[in-house]
């Protein structure tokens, strides 16, 4: 038998009685092949948004919809308990524990309403409740099905800093605590079922790990135990060549390198958050993405690097992805020519607004700098730039800083592009043939991807056109 496996189930994988039945069978099957199994669970699908909405309403003093939220949360969790937990005392105990957590939500929201604001710490306390309910439900379902399991909140062993809403783990302390708590359970033949997405400060205050947090939790646990494999169970058959909602012919990639998936994740593919990949890569652990609703499908394996030329089945480009709702911000002016530090000051201004920049392009003449930001942050970024460069604008050294209407960033990914001449030519010829106008271009030094900007209306057309290069 193989040794240690971490399995993470996403929100849709634990979102209904049928889904949880699938999870239970997947855990049962894994126990046949692996000595030691740890399960990481997300909140049930829809719950996190419900919690966030409750906290947002409370921060505006509105608590009248709380009873409706309470009812929805009870109905969602209790329906699964009724359907899958046959042991009456276990079922009632599980419902009581979940009810206590729902009551915590009510208390927290009332406190937020009194204060008139939700601090990042309060938001983490609210949003953690989804995973904390889910872990109790899954533990009871799995135990009722005859598999020995124990729920344990990851706040017990994932120790983070106090950067609420995007906390960073202290790997040294986390390693000691994770091994100390999970190993004895697994040695006793018990499956630990733990919460994704959350950790705690050394003082015990609950924190969350930011976007993609449950995947990140699984990667952290996998890295520190260490495990042999981490499997991420989701609702798709692994990493696709494109968004199947745009391209009906999209296919599952049997394997993909860490570099490639990092580019895909960064540029909008919702499969794995980039920071998830790091602990697993550093620890040299196998990572696989599988479909809870199609468990016999092999999914996608992540591998350290693709063979020398990077081609798979003779294809250079592996996948194409799009990030929508971006705007291109341009700073331009002939007075910028040869003036050192303009770019540094520009990105300092952007950083001061807490905005992440997914794409940058600068003309070699240095008369303009152009970069993308999320649409909703563009006005904030522009006012920060105008403030930073107010003297240069007044002196006409900089003509203006301005933003386009909504655009999309399209990225083609494939490690084989590094070794294949003419890929860019084929990409832009294909776009030209489909009447797609390219507004800006950037190629990363990793040479695993080429990104470019198109008008919002051209997004689907561009993705479909470039997907033809994969399947042709």
**Domains of the chain by start residue, with CATH:** 2-235 (3.40.1160.10), 307-472 (3.30.2130.10)
At 18-47, the pLDDT tens digits run: 999 999 999 999 999 999 999 999 999 999
- Which has the minimum average pLDDT: 69-83, 195-209, 416-430? 416-430
The beta-carbon contacts of 259-262 under 8 Å, at least 24 apart in sequence, are 259/305, 259/415, 259/446, 259/448, 260/306, 260/318, 260/319, 260/413, 260/414, 260/415, 260/448, 260/449, 261/302
Higher pLDDT, 260 or 150: 150
At 107-117, the pLDDT tens digits run: 999 999 999 99
Please state, in angstroms and rounded to a whole number, the distance separating the CA atoms of residues 160 and 153.
14
Residue 447 has pLDDT above 80, yes or no: no
Please state, in angstroms and rounded to a whole number, the distance separating the CA atoms of residues 178 and 347.
39
> Token pair of 102, please?
């729902």
| Residue 308 pLDDT level (bands cut at 50, 70, 90) | very low
Q: Give every CB contact of residue 160 below 8 A, 6+ residues apart in sequence.
A: 167, 168, 169, 170, 199, 200, 201, 207, 209
Q: What is the pLDDT of residue 49?
A: 95
Please state, in angstroms and rounded to a whole number, the distance separating the CA atoms of residues 97 and 107.
16
Residue 364 has pLDDT above 60, yes or no: no
Residue 401 has pLDDT above 70, yes or no: yes
Q: What is the pLDDT of residue 265?
A: 72
| Residue 164 pLDDT level (bands cut at 50, 70, 90) | very high
Q: What is the pLDDT of residue 376?
A: 95
> Token pair of 44, please?
């049930």
Residue 453 has pLDDT above 50, yes or no: yes
Q: What pTM value is reported for the model?
A: 0.84
Residue 143 has pLDDT above 50, yes or no: yes
Residue 66 has pLDDT above 80, yes or no: yes
At 202-247, the pLDDT tens digits run: 999 999 998 778 999 999 999 999 999 999 999 888 998 998 889 9
- Which has the minimum average pLDDT: 206-215, 363-372, 404-413? 363-372
Residue range 358-383: mean pLDDT, rounded: 87
Q: State what percent of residues in the chain have pLDDT above 70.
A: 94
Residue range 356-371: mean pLDDT, rounded: 81
Q: What is the pLDDT of residue 100?
A: 98
> Token pair of 12, please?
């849709």
What are the distances in angstroms from CA 345 to CA 340, 382, 387, 403? 10, 13, 11, 18
How confident is the prediction for the chain on average, in pLDDT?
Answer: 91
- Which has the minimum average pLDDT: 4-8, 166-170, 254-258, 364-368? 364-368
Q: What is the pLDDT of residue 270?
A: 66
What are the distances in angstroms from CA 273 to CA 77, 163, 209, 270, 338? 27, 18, 11, 7, 38
Q: Which of 282, 285, 256 is nearest to 269 (CA)?
A: 256
> Token pair of 27, please?
């855990």
Q: State what percent of residues in the chain have pLDDT above 90.
A: 73
Helical spans, DSSP H, in 225-288: 258-266, 274-283
């Amino acid at each position: 038998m193989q040794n240690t496996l971490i399995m993470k189930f996403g929100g849709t994988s634990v979102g209904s009685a049928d889904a949880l039945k699938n999870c239970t069978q997947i855990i049962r099957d894994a126990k046949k092949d692996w000595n030691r199994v740890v399960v990481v669970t997300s909140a049930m699908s829809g719950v996190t948004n419900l919690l966030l909405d409750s906290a947002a309403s409370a921060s505006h003093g509105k608590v009248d919809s709380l009873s409706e939220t309470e009812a929805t949360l009870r109905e969602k969790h209790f329906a699964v308990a009724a359907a899958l937990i046959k042991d009456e005392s276990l079922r009632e105990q599980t419902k009581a524990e979940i009810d206590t957590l729902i009551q915590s939500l009510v208390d927290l929201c009332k406190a937020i309403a009194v204060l008139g604001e939700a601090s990042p710490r309060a938001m983490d306390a609210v949003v953690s409740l989804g995973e904390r309910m889910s872990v109790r439900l899954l533990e009871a379902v799995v135990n009722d099905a005859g598999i020995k399991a124990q729920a344990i909140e990851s706040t017990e062993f994932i120790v983070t800093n106090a950067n609420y809403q995007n906390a960073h783990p202290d790997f040294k302390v986390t390693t000691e605590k994770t091994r100390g708590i999970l190993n004895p359970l697994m040695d006793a033949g018990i499956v630990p079922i733990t919460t994704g997405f959350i950790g705690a400060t050394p003082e015990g205050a609950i924190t969350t790990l930011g976007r993609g947090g449950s995947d990140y939790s699984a990667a952290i646990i996998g890295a520190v135990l260490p495990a042999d494999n981490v499997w991420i169970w989701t609702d798709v058959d692994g990493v696709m060549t494109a968004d199947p909602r745009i391209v009906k012919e999209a296919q599952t990639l049997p394997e993909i390198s860490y570099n490639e998936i990092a580019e895909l994740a960064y540029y909008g593919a919702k499969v794995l958050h980039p920071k998830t990949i790091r602990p697993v890569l550093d620890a040299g652990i196998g990572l696989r993405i599988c479909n809870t609703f199609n468990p016999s499908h092999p999914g996608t394996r992540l591998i350290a690097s693709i063979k020398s030329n990077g081609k798979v089945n003779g294809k250079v480009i592996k996948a194409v992805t799009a990030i929508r709702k971006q705007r291109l911000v341009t700073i331009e002016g002939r007075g910028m020519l040869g003036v050192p530090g303009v770019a540094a000051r520009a990105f300092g201004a952007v950083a001061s607004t807490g905005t992440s920049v997914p794409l940058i392009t600068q003309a070699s003449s240095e008369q303009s700098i152009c970069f993308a930001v999320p649409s909703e942050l563009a006005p904030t970024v522009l006012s920060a730039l105008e403030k930073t460069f107010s003297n240069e604008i007044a002196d006409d050294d900089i003509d203006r800083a301005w933003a386009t209407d909504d655009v999309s960033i399209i990225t083609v990914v494939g490690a084989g592009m590094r070794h294949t001449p003419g890929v860019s030519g084929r990409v832009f010829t294909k776009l030209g043939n489909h009447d797609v106008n390219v507004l800006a271009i950037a190629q990363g030094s990793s040479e695993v991807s080429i990104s470019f900007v198109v008008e919002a209306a051209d997004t689907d057309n561009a993705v479909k056109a470039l997907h033809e290069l994969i399947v042709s």
